[in-house]
Structure formats: structure tokens, C-alpha cells
């Protein structure tokens, strides 16, 4: 490994010409000088991708490398190609339609070296409809023991992580091939890492792209989510994991995917029949993992609810609120009656959770949503224990409106950890 390179930035490329220059530039102009950029063209059918890659390779010799696959290996395969050719002590994965802060590599590399960490997490911004929502990693993940790290895992996306290259090579924890969903590998990384560190700043910028694999083909993409977990059984590292840790991991996996079910139901992106297909597929995969009694109970409960088309309050509490599920027995108010608020209202009504609904816009008062009249916040605050904020990136603004510590305020998206 070339010790002159501190961080290798790996960018899989497939039909990304519209975004490539923004992504490449954010990687090349890092304040840390010892950075290389590895772009891996995964048989993109758009010739502009190759043209842009070759242009950058000529403009930045020794700094930018363009690699090309002979067969399509999906994102995981492209990232593996990048890892195996990386000269950096650490690597970072960036999606082609996103970009990174120019300080990202410098700040995260310095943190990794100071803490001798295998993994370093950072905060990220979600860019959607002209708004940005910032999320930062839970501080407790740094000191948590391996089996408990999942309790503090706010996001399992690989692009939030700076990863020690040798850590992946030594443990043979490469990405699974042939699936659009390869973030599952981070579950094993969290378990295998001797030291995890974090920085609380937002360095990664995830940009909504309706053509991306995770959005454009919801059914096929979601169906592939559980597939990487089958590969765990063949990883040399898996055989070294204790039975108890495997059971803890399996339970975390099952809860993670089960939460995604509620997300898809809320957003009406997949019809019921396909949801049943997905759950049957996931269930077959889960049965191959080491299951605890809690895992088997959860699988059984979800199977009953999915089959009967009844995603009930009991299941909602278990998946979304964990040990704090009792909060749904409190007096709930939805803040915001836009599209997301209406969907949440419909869902709470369907699982028989009593709620009220309000909005910061007086013009909405008097509207009827799910047989509930939209009321001013002042009329509801004395009878509310829990507020669910539905507008995107509005949590902090609405907290200022509520302005009391006696009411629990949570974000719509944070219900699922997304």
C-alpha cells in the first residue's frame, strides 16, 4: 500500500453524467492533500460517464484514476474494485449523485489517527426540495461495546464512514456483490471494529435523485435489501463471532428491515401484494441467521400482521418506539398537515392511535383530515404529551413554537431512524 496516500475516495459510476463533476470536484479539492479519487465505471450504458472520467484522469494524473468493469457488478462490486486498488490507509465511499464537504477527509482522518479507529462516523445532510436536514451520529456509539453498538446506530449507510483499508482486507469484509443494497455490510463492520470514533459535523451531502437505484426501482431495490445477509454466513469473520453476538446482530437486522416496512407503507410506494412477497423473501433469509427468541417472536408477529394486512399499534410500538412504545398511549398531536402529515394521520387512524393535528399556517385551521379538525397549537398544547413533526427539516423550528420541556417532540423520519 502506498503510504503517501492517506485517504482513497471511491465513487461507483453508472448513468451519472449529470452529477459526476460535482461529486468528483468535491473529492479532488479536499483540504487534505494526500487524497486519491478512484472512479469505477460499472458498465454504464451512458458514454458520457466514461468521457468525463477520462477527462478527469488526464486533468489530474496521479490524483484521479478511472477504472472500468467488463461486467456489471452493481455498487458493491464497484466499491470492492476500488478498495482492492486503493493506495490509501483509509477509504471513503461517495455516491455519484452526492458530494462531500472539502474538510471531510482532513477532519475525519485526523480523528481516525488520534483515536486509532477502524471506523469514523460523521454527520450528514439530506437535501430534498430545497431544504436540508442535518443528522449527526450518536455520541454513545464511540464507547459502546460491540454487541451494544446497534442501539446507537442512527444510520448504516456506508457513506457516513471513513474506513481503515487494512481492517476490511484483514477481516475479508468486502461488500456483497450483485445487489443494489450493500449498506448491510456495515452491520458486520460495527461488530468487527476494535475502535469506532465520530465527528459531530456534517460532512456528507446526500442529494435526492429520483433516478437513483434506491428510489427509481423501489420494489426490486427493497426486495434485494436482505440478500446481503445471506452472504454473512460465508464470511470467515462470521465463524469467529460468538453465538450471542450473532443473535444480537440478527435481531438488529430484523428490526432494521421491519422498520423499513412501515416506511414503505407510510409512503404508499409498494402495493400490499408486493409487500407480502418482500416479507416472505426476507423471512427466508432471516431464518438462515442465528435467531434469538426475541427474533423468532418478532418474525412471527410481523408475519401474522402482514398476512392479515394489519400493521397494528402493537407492531408499530415494537418496531418504531422500542422500549419507549408506551409513548403512543399518551396524547399525540401531529404538527403539520401537508402530504406527510396526512399520511401519518391516516396511518395512526388505521392502527387506532388517538391523535389531534395542528399546523403553523392559520389558513389550515378548520380543515378536516381523517375526521380530525386542524386546530391551532394553543388549543392543543394543554392536552398533548407527544408531538410528531411531519414537515421535512422542520423539527427545530417547531420546537421553538412548542417551547416547553413537558412535551416530547420527535421527527417524522426519526421514528424509523432514516
Q: The domain spanning residue 94 has which CATH number?
A: 3.90.550.10
Helix then strand then coil, % of the chain, to nearest 5: 50, 20, 35
Whether 127 and 232 map to the same domain: the answer is no
Q: How far apart are CA 100 and CA 304, in angstroms?
A: 43
**Over its length of 418 residues, how does the chain's per-residue pLDDT go in tens digits?**
445 899 999 999 999 999 999 999 999 999 999 999 999 999 999 999 999 999 999 999 999 999 999 999 988 999 999 999 999 999 999 999 999 999 999 999 999 999 999 999 999 999 988 889 888 888 888 888 877 777 666 666 899 999 999 999 999 999 987 766 667 788 889 889 999 999 999 999 999 877 665 554 556 666 666 777 778 888 999 888 899 888 888 888 888 777 776 666 666 566 777 777 878 888 888 888 889 998 998 888 888 877 666 667 777 777 776 554 566 678 999 999 998 899 889 888 888 889 999 999 999 999 999 999 999 999 999 999 999 999 999 998 999 999 887 898 988 877 765 5
Q: Is 216 within the bounds of a domain?
A: no
Whether 174 and 259 map to the same domain: the answer is no
Q: Helices (DSSP H) in 193-271: which residue ranges?
A: 213-216, 218-223, 227-232, 236-240, 243-267
Whether 271 and 176 map to the same domain: the answer is no
Report the run of H or E that residue 285 belongs to, with start and end.
helix 272-286
Q: Is 395 within the bounds of a domain?
A: yes
What residues make up the domain containing 356?
A: 323-415
Q: Is 215 within the bounds of a domain?
A: no
SS3 342: helix
| Cell numbers found for residue 275 | 409487500
Which of 259, 280, 311 corresponds to the end of one domain? 311
SS3 236: helix
Whether 149 and 271 map to the same domain: the answer is no
Whether 32 and 153 map to the same domain: the answer is yes
Q: pTM of the prediction?
A: 0.88
Whether 177 and 278 map to the same domain: the answer is no
CATH number of the structural domain spanning residue 392: 3.40.50.720
Q: Is 214 within the bounds of a domain?
A: no
What does the H/E/C string look like for 357-414?
EECCCHHHCCCEECCEECECHHHHHHHCCEEEECCCCCHHHHHHHHCCCCCEEEECHH
Q: Is 217 within the bounds of a domain?
A: no
Whether 234 and 188 map to the same domain: the answer is no
Judge residue 381's burial from the number of C-beta atoms within 10 Å of its C-beta, 0-12 exposed, 13-18 middle, 19 or more buried: middle
| Count: domains in the chain | 3
Whether 146 and 200 map to the same domain: the answer is yes
Report the run of H or E that residue 11 belongs to, with start and end.
strand 7-13
Whether 156 and 233 map to the same domain: the answer is no
Q: Is 264 within the bounds of a domain?
A: yes
Region of 116 (left: φ > 0; alpha: ψ -120 to 50; beta: rest) is: left
Q: How far apart are CA 56 and CA 59, in angstroms?
A: 5
Q: Are 333 and 386 in contact (CB under 8 A)?
A: yes
SS3 153: coil
Q: Are 41 and 68 in contact (CB under 8 A)?
A: yes
Q: Is 232 within the bounds of a domain?
A: yes
CB-facing half-sphere around the CA of 302: CA atoms within 13 A: 27
Tallying the residues shown for the chain, one arrives at 418
Whether 176 and 59 map to the same domain: the answer is yes
Q: Is 318 within the bounds of a domain?
A: no
Amino acid at each position: 500500500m502506498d503510504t503517501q496516500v492517506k485517504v482513497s475516495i471511491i465513487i461507483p459510476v453508472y448513468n451519472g453524467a449529470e452529477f459526476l463533476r460535482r461529486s468528483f470536484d468535491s473529492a479532488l479539492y479536499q483540504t487534505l492533500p494526500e487524497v486519491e479519487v478512484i472512479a469505477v465505471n460499472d458498465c454504464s450504458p451512458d458514454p458520457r460517464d466514461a468521457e468525463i472520467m477520462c477527462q478527469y484522469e488526464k486533468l489530474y494524473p496521479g490524483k484521479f484514476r478511472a477504472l472500468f468493469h467488463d461486467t456489471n457488478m452493481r455498487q458493491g462490486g464497484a466499491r470492492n474494485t476500488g478498495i482492492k486498488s486503493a493506495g490509501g490507509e483509509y477509504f471513503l465511499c461517495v455516491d455519484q449523485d452526492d458530494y462531500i464537504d472539502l474538510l471531510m477527509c482532513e477532519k475525519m482522518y485526523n480523528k481516525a489517527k488520534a483515536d486509532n479507529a477502524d471506523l469514523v462516523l460523521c454527520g450528514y445532510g439530506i437535501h430534498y426540495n430545497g431544504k436540508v436536514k442535518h443528522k449527526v451520529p450518536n455520541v454513545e456509539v464511540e464507547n459502546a461495546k460491540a454487541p451494544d453498538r446497534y442501539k446507537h446506530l442512527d444510520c448504516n449507510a456506508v457513506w457516513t464512514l471513513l474506513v481503515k483499508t487494512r481492517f476490511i482486507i484483514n477481516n475479508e469484509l468486502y461488500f456483497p456483490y450483485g445487489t443494489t443494497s450493500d449498506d448491510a455490510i456495515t452491520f458486520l463492520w460495527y461488530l468487527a471494529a476494535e475502535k469506532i470514533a465520530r465527528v459531530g459535523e456534517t460532512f456528507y451531502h446526500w442529494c435526492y435523485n429520483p433516478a437513483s437505484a434506491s428510489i427509481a426501482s423501489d420494489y426490486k431495490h427493497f426486495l434485494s435489501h436482505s440478500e446481503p445477509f445471506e452472504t454473512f454466513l460465508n464470511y470467515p469473520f462470521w465463524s469467529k463471532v460468538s453465538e450471542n453476538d450473532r443473535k444480537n446482530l440478527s435481531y438488529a437486522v430484523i428490526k432494521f428491515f421491519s422498520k423499513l416496512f412501515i416506511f414503505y407503507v407510510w409512503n404508499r410506494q409498494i402495493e400490499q401484494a408486493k409487500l407480502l412477497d418482500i416479507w416472505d423473501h426476507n423471512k427466508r433469509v432471516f431464518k438462515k441467521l442465528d435467531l434469538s427468541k426475541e427474533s423468532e417472536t418478532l418474525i412471527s408477529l410481523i408475519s401474522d400482521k402482514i398476512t392479515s394486512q394489519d400493521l397494528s399499534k402493537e407492531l408499530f410500538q415494537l418496531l418504531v418506539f422500542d422500549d419507549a412504545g408506551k409513548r403512543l398511549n399518551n396524547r399525540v398531536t401531529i404538527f403539520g398537515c401537508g402530504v406527510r402529515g396526512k399520511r401519518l394521520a391516516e396511518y395512526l387512524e388505521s392502527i387506532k392511535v388517538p391523535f389531534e393535528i395542528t399546523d403553523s399556517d392559520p389558513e389550515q385551521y378548520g380543515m378536516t383530515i381523517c375526521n380530525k379538525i386542524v386546530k391551532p397549537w394553543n388549543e392543543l398544547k394543554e392536552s398533548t404529551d407527544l408531538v410528531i413533526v411531519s414537515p421535512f427539516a422542520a423539527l427545530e423550528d417547531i420546537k421553538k413554537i412548542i417551547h416547553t420541556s413537558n412535551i416530547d417532540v420527535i421527527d417524522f423520519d426519526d421514528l424509523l431512524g432514516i
